[in-house]
Amino acid sequence: MSKERILDAADKLFVEKGYDATSVRELAQEADVNIAMISYYFGSKENLLEEMILRRTQHTRAKIEEFKQLDLHPMEILDQMIDLYTEKILYNKKFHLMLHRELSLSQREELHERIIGILEGNWQHMKSIIQNGQNEGIFREDVDVEMVVLTLFGLINQCTQGKITRRMILKGPSENEVHDRLKSHLKNILRNHLLVK
């Protein structure tokens, strides 16, 4: 289907070249469609970027819903979420670097608000798991939930910075070992910080 081919092309070119450096003509060539098809399906390149990000987040949202349906302890759900986000972000480093680069720019504020709205849905799920654990008396009530979520995503995103990560911790271990270390570290941090003693 042409729409999916365009989204695939956007996913490839925006990640490889950056949003601004990718022309609509290049997108059409990569997708093997007429330029008018991009306008027909998306209306604009901005809308195409938004739709591409939405497509990537829908899988994550579905997995989160699966976790929430399981009869698991809140800490076990958070463990699943840490595994999910670590793998998702670290195996898609270029996409996340492109996304953060785009959101750091001062232009396209309206688009950025829409993108943040898409991402916020997943952050809210993480917050609700912690808040549910607090309501059940499993997690400490005095925990700053937003800061816990920022700590989690901040550390994972920091590990996408290849040169920094290599200099600090990749002096021998494979990338998979670093992923495992990161997951273990985050789980330990959250257990020590969240659980009622």
Tokens coding 169: 């911790």
Give CA torsion, residues 146, 147, 152, 156, to 10 deg: 110
- Position 113 scores a pLDDT of 92
Tokens coding 86: 């670590």
Please state, rounded to an integer, the average pLDDT across all residues of the chain. 88
Residue 10 confidence (pLDDT) above 80: yes
- Position 97 scores a pLDDT of 84
Residue 104 confidence (pLDDT) above 60: yes
- Position 164 scores a pLDDT of 66
Q: Give me the amino acid identity at 138.
A: I
Please give the model's pTM, rounded to 2 decimal places.
Answer: 0.84
Question: Could you confirm whether domain 1-43 is CATH 1.10.530.10?
Answer: no
Residue 111 confidence (pLDDT) above 80: yes
- Domain 49-194, architecture per CATH: Orthogonal Bundle (1.10)
Residue 192 confidence (pLDDT) above 70: yes
CB atoms closer than 10 angstroms to residue 107: 9
Domain ranges of the chain: 1-43, 49-194
Banded model confidence at residue 165, pLDDT cuts 50, 70, 90: low
